[in-house]
Amino acid sequence: MQRILITETAKYVGKRVKVAGWVNSRRDHGGIVFLDLRDRSGLLQVVATPDLVKDVKEEYVLEIEGEAQQRPIKMVNPELATGQVELKADKIEILAKAETPSIDLKDLKVSLPVLLDYRPLTLRNKKIRAIFQIEEEAISQFRESLKNLGFTEFQAPVIVPTVTEGGAELFPVKYYEYDAYLAQSPQLYKQILVGVFERVFTITKVFRAEPSVTTRHLSEYLSLDAEMGFIDSWQDLMDTCERVIKEIFSDIENKCQKELKMFGVSIPKINQKIPRLKLREAQEIIFQRTKRDNRKENDLEPEDEKEICEYAKEKYGSELIFITHFPTKKRPFYTFPDPENPDYTLSFDLLCRGLEIVTGGQRIHDYETLLKNIKKWQLKPADFKFYLQAFKYGMPPEGGFAIGAERLVKQILNLENVREASLFPRDTIRIDQRLIAFKTKRKKSKK
RNA sequence: GCGGGUGUAGCUUAGCCCGGUUCAAAGCGCCUCCCUGUCACGGAGGAGAUCGUGGGUUCAAAUCCCAUCGCCCGCGCCA
């Protein structure tokens, strides 16, 4: 007999079917026992006699045969997608036993460390699963949107040589007899590929060895990167980014109502167009509103990001806002300076509900200028010789952006911590388990 | 790295401020029994905690003090 999915049961009323899955819950009434069986499609109530399910406990994996039945009207459960039907079991095979979970999976109320310590188990919880269904949807729509715009997907290398774009800390890797690093960004490769495919994107893990212990940092995160050539203006980049973000949002809104509802949230609002403000303008507004004077700072503080998002919401009805023209010295060497004032760059961040979720900008495509900048940033041209070939042999005006996937999901679902939006988050103290459990902590080197 | 907070049964927490009838309580989970219509079923009973660790103050410490470790949050750095 062929197994059917739980959600298909309704189509088989009056017929014998076979389903399989995990025991989500057991309600024992003495003479009759109810099991909620869970498979990838949903939950189904199974009715069984006590002898059939004698030893069965939560999370046991079962294969159940029986008759799919219409529930009597009074016993319909409107909360359940399959609430109209139930399965009258007559044969149950235990495919796997399960130990009693140390936490309550049905009503998951645990602290973040416990949630992550038991990740293989807690991921089975309905609400936790919903986070990753949303994430999958976002990734898949990112891909679709860009493909529709003529972008080519590529796979970025993760092991990179000594070259860095500066800024973020790198994880070193022992590479045969040499030192190498885990990529902090596919930046240089996506630019090289603009010289090949004009428009490219990649969905790739990146690694940051920042000692950041915050609710918005991960040591390994998923970067949704896009880069495009032959732009007329850097505004094209924001337009593309805005379009992709809007399509991701509306896709999730269309397909994930159930998941959004579990978190009591709705998709971030955008009123027609995402407002665009220069960093200095944003700082002036923040100063006017709060008397907090960060007008000389090169970036927005977390508190400023929240404040300017408040402003965007009040003034433009938008929960997103582009901040543009970051100071040249704050951005990487390849960032295109504003011809009107080279102290600032044609770069942008996209903030959503108080957090930066995208960063992007136009890049310098002229070989000589790029070379000059590498020296100016006190980097070694020799380290960038490989990358520079792309420009030496002709590169159109270009630029791009990168979305932090976990941050995007965090902001959509109003999660408290970005770690919740990562299946297996890595941070300063955790790779799957708390690192201290391995007792292999390196001694701090004396300086 | 800096600052703040926190650590009590498997999980979530109360008790800590004003030490002593709480040397420990509750909900969930667990075990036993009862229950044929529940859907996070219900009912009765039970097991389970050297109150993170070490030291100190005191007649007396979960409670006060010091140290130490873990964890969380904020900042820094960064995306």
ipTM field: 0.91
Judge whether residue A140 contacts strand B, using its CB and a 7 Å cut-off.
no
d(CA A340, CA A356): 26
Strand nucleotide closest to residue A109 (CA to C1'):
B12
Amino acid at A61: V
DSSP character at residue A372 = H
Q: Closest CA to B73 C1' — which residue?
A: A214
Coil/strand/helix, residue A266: coil
- Distance B30 C1' – A15 CA (angstroms): 38
Element holding A306 (H helix, E strand)? helix A302-316
Element holding A370 (H helix, E strand)? helix A367-376
Write down which residues 178-237 in A have CB closer than 7 A to strand B.
208, 210-219, 221
Judge whether residue A243 contacts strand B, using its CB and a 7 Å cut-off.
no
d(CA A238, CA A240): 5
Which bases in strand B are touched by protein, i.e. have an atom under 7 Å from a CB? Answer: 1-2, 10-13, 28-31, 34-42, 70-79
Judge whether residue A407 contacts strand B, using its CB and a 7 Å cut-off.
yes
In this structure, are residues A231 and A239 in contact, taking their beta carbons and an 8 Å threshold?
A: no
d(CA A95, CA A102): 21
Query: How do the pLDDT tens digits run along chain A, 447 residues long?
Result: 999 999 999 999 999 999 999 999 999 999 999 999 999 999 999 999 999 999 899 999 999 999 999 999 999 999 999 999 999 999 999 999 999 998 989 888 899 999 999 999 999 999 999 999 999 999 999 999 999 999 999 999 999 997 767 667 899 999 999 989 999 999 999 999 999 999 999 999 999 998 889 999 999 999 999 999 999 999 999 999 999 999 999 999 999 999 999 999 999 999 999 999 999 999 999 999 999 999 999 999 999 999 999 999 999 999 999 999 999 988 999 999 999 999 999 999 999 999 999 999 999 999 999 999 999 988 889 999 999 999 999 999 999 999 999 999 999 999 999 999 999 999 999 999 998 877 555 544 332
In this structure, are residues A64 and A77 in contact, taking their beta carbons and an 8 Å threshold?
A: no
| Per-residue pLDDT at A439 | 58
Structure tokens at A2: 């062929």
Over the range A337-360, which residues count as b (16 or more CB within 10 Å of their CB) and which as e?
Answer: bbeeeeebbbbbbbbbbbbbbbbb
d(CA A344, CA A365): 17
Q: Closest CA to B74 C1' — which residue?
A: A214
Judge whether residue A429 contacts strand B, using its CB and a 7 Å cut-off.
yes
d(CA A7, CA A40): 9
Q: Among positive and negative, which fits the CA dihedral A346, A350, A356, A361? A: negative
Spatial CA neighbour of A400 closest among A276, A206, A229: A229
- Distance B25 C1' – A110 CA (angstroms): 20
Q: Closest CA to B43 C1' — which residue?
A: A29
Task: Determine the length of chain A.
Answer: 447
- At A347, phi and psi to the nearest 5? -130, 165
Write down which residues 292-331 in A have CB closer than 7 A to strand B.
299, 301-303
Strand nucleotide closest to residue A69 (CA to C1'):
B37
Element holding A402 (H helix, E strand)? strand A398-404
| Per-residue pLDDT at A443 | 47
Q: Which residue has the tokens 């800390």?
A: A169
Judge whether residue A80 contacts strand B, using its CB and a 7 Å cut-off.
yes
Coil/strand/helix, residue A199: strand
d(CA A325, CA A354): 19
- Distance B20 C1' – A205 CA (angstroms): 59
Strand order in the sheet with A430-431: A426-427, A430-431, A433-434
> Which pTM does this prediction carry?
0.94
| Per-residue pLDDT at A436 | 83
Judge whether residue A334 contacts strand B, using its CB and a 7 Å cut-off.
no
Structure tokens at A443: 């001694």
Spatial CA neighbour of A231 closest among A336, A329, A323, A145: A336
Strand nucleotide closest to residue A406 (CA to C1'):
B79
| Per-residue pLDDT at A440 | 55
User: What are the pLDDT digits (tens) for A4-33?
Assistant: 999 999 999 999 999 999 999 999 999 999
Coil/strand/helix, residue A238: helix
Strand nucleotide closest to residue A79 (CA to C1'):
B39
In this structure, are residues A103 and A65 in contact, taking their beta carbons and an 8 Å threshold?
A: no
d(CA A54, CA A45): 17
- Distance B22 C1' – A433 CA (angstroms): 36
Write down which residues 5-64 in A have CB closer than 7 A to strand B.
25-32, 34, 36, 45, 47, 57-58
Structure tokens at A36: 């909620």
d(CA A404, CA A32): 50
As a dihedral over the C-alpha atoms of residue A139, residue A142, residue A147, residue A151, rounded to 10 degrees, the angle is -110
